[in-house]
Amino acid sequence: MSEILYCKKCNSYTLDKICSKCKEKTILKKPARFSPQDHYGKYRRELKKLEKKG
Ligand SMILES: [Zn+2]
């Protein structure tokens, strides 16, 4: 499973260790499970729903 990295400068998520837009080093940002602002958390919840159904 790929780690989700984050560029503070662009305020965006990426899988690259260096941001392809601004060449800044990205940081590892673990998705906060209970944060409503976290898109990946939402995505993971959707996946879990699908797993239960299937
Ligand atoms: Zn960037």
Give the pLDDT of the chain (54 residues) as one tens digit per residue. Answer: 678 899 999 999 999 999 999 999 999 876 556 555 666 666 777 778 887 776
Cα 9 to chain centroid distance, Å, stands at 15
CA of 11 to the centre of ligand 1 (A): 7
What is the secondary structure of 14-48 as a DSSP string? ES-SB-TTT-PBPEE-PPPTT-TT-HHHHHHHHHH
CA of 25 to the centre of ligand 1 (A): 8
CA of 5 to the centre of ligand 1 (A): 11
What global pTM score does this model have? Answer: 0.51
Whole-number pLDDT of residue 33: 60
CA of 50 to the centre of ligand 1 (A): 32
Is 8:27 a contact under the CB 8 Å cutoff?
yes
| CATH level 3 topology of 5-53 | Rubrerythrin, domain 2 (2.20.28)
CA of 4 to the centre of ligand 1 (A): 14
